[in-house]
A and B are shown apart, each in its own frame.
Chain A
Amino acid sequence: MRLGNSTKFNIAHDLFATQIKWSLWYIPAALAIYFFTYYIVAESGDISLAWAIIETSKLCMLVFGLSIFLALLPQYVKYGVTRKEYFVGSAIAAVGVVIGTVAIALILNKIAYTFGLSTSSLPDFNAVPAWILPSALSLNLLSYYVAGWLIAAAIFKGKLGFGLIPVAVFIVFLTALLWKGQIFGFVLTAPYSLSILGNILLVSLGLVVIRLITRAIPIDVK
């Protein structure tokens, strides 16, 4: 495709395509593990297919956020793309990837449930109404993606950036607290609307920090 009106959307398209391909590689692996445990491990009967995919996706999103930034920012700058264009394109792609992954997980779960191969329950999201479930799951995954991105920015920034790793950890823990209701003994009984708002704020905080520290980040000639 030739350069269109917006480089940002070209970047978003390219990065989305790359990462959704990665998702399509690991989801079959998650499925295989799920079906293996579903039939072999007796206690796994309460675990839904969607839950298995979403839980494994958290780690994957962290890795995606980390590797996409580390590997591709220098490449795009070499093609004359600005750091800002890359940031915006990358953020749009991240939203697309988490929505895509959640959609795949929910559709597969529905199919498996219809055939009696999965329960419909998502333990962390029992309180969340069904109509809001996709947004809740997507935001949850997005937190992990942003955390990975922050860690990548920290690595890129070198020793000056390692202070960012606690920010990434903070985002992950607070997201867990918002949706699980408790973590490390802290208990939060929040309505789902507050959880969503809190998650949006956490992701926004992460993105603002990433943008601030990467807006003039040097690219090595290598």
Chain B
Amino acid sequence: MNLDVNLKNLSLKYGDFTALQDISFSLSPQKIYGLIGRNGAGKTSLLALLASFRAPTSGTISIGGEDPFENAKIMRQVSFAYNREYTDDDKPGKAYLEMSQRYRPNFDMDYARELAKRFGLPLDKRVKKLSRGMQSALDATLGLANRAPVSIFDEVYLSMDPPSRKIFYQEIIEDQNRFPRLMILSTYLVSEMEYLFDHVLILDQGRLVIDEDFETVINRGAAVTGPSAEVDAFVRDKKQLSSQQLGPTKSVMIYESISEAQRVEAQKRDLEIGPVSLQELFIHLTEKEDEK
């Protein structure tokens, strides 16, 4: 089953606080989306809406052409993995796997056990007695083994140690090859995850600031370095994200496509055009005025 996701003019308010404002985008099946944003940008609020944890204040969500909220057919096809609180829970990990098997139509118990083994996750131990990293591994295991057509992972990997995160990233790629589905990976650990993304969504203070495929985003970002006056002349009409001055040399980060003709012109001006990582773009695109 392939499901697409469409949001139109979506807003969410908690009392007087606006968590999301006028968000519109479309997500296609079988792609991995990176949802990037700083703490408090609205990532979890947005994902909670997709998973029908709450209804939006205004605007519409459509998954597979239908409103997902209280829609039994759609809700069981949307899996939302996040770092759950297990402090009051006496159940062992295997009880969570059994619940998923009971209520998630595509859940693969063998795959879940295999993942638990890879993560070193003891399924017989009470979950509240596990370390935070192991609890995250359980959340990730459930999210992957649910094999839901819309699989959402909201920073489940943050508490994992680097080797476990590496296993998780490998499994994302391998399982996506075996069972392609729409995946959304929310994170601010951009540098170690960017290779997973087909498409990038950047949220900043409840607004969607970037919604483009990974290659386009990366190709738009560029660091222009050279003699100060030449750099200023070259970037004058372009969207500038940051600048650094070192003696007579200046480096300006821009976010705009550079045509072949412009590259030739840059060469003539003795300017160097270098790539910019998604991490750097994210930092500068979401930088507040007083942080610059």
Contacts and interface: CB of A to CB of B under 8 A. Distances in A.
Given A82-B70, A216-B69, A222-B84, A3 B44 contact: no
A117 to B, nearest CB: 35
Contacts of B228: none
Contacts of A84: 70, 72
Interface in B62-113: 69-72, 75-80, 82, 84-85, 99-105
A80 B154 contact: no
A81 interface: yes
B104 A80 contact: yes
A25 interface: no
Q: Which of A78, A80, A218 has the largest number of chain B CB atoms within 10 A?
A: A80
B102 to A, nearest CB: 6
Contacts, number: 65
B120 to A, nearest CB: 24
Given A218-B53, A218-B54, A221-B53, A80 B75 contact: yes
Contacts of B84: 78, 222
A83 B72 CA distance: 9
A216 B99 CA distance: 23
A82 B72 contact: yes
A80 B53 CA distance: 9
Interface string A205-222: 000000000011011111
Interface residues of B, number: 29
A7 B103 contact: yes
B99 to A, nearest CB: 6
A10 interface: yes
A138 to B, nearest CB: 28
A188 interface: no
Contact of A81 (B75, B79, B80): B75
Contact of A80 (B55, B69, B78, B85): B78
Interface in A2-44: 2-3, 7, 10, 14
A77 B104 contact: no
A221 B70 contact: no
B109 to A, nearest CB: 10
Contacts of A80: 75-79, 103-104, 148
A38 B84 CA distance: 48
A79 B76 CA distance: 7
Interface in B39-74: 44, 47-48, 52-55, 69-72
A12 to B, nearest CB: 13
B93 to A, nearest CB: 15
A79 B100 contact: yes
A221 B105 CA distance: 22
Interface of A: 1-3, 7, 10, 14, 75-85, 215-216, 218-222
Given A14-B102, A80-B77, 13 more contacts: A3-B105, A7-B72, A79-B76, A79-B100, A80-B79, A80-B148, A83-B70, A84-B70, A215-B70, A216-B70, A218-B53, A218-B54, A220-B53
Interface of B: 44, 47-48, 52-55, 69-72, 75-80, 82, 84-85, 99-105, 148, 154
Q: Which 10 A-B pairs have the closest CB atoms?
A: A80-B76, A218-B54, A79-B103, A219-B53, A80-B75, A82-B70, A222-B85, A82-B72, A221-B48, A221-B44
6 contacts: A76-B103, A78-B80, A79-B103, A216-B70, A221-B82, A221-B154
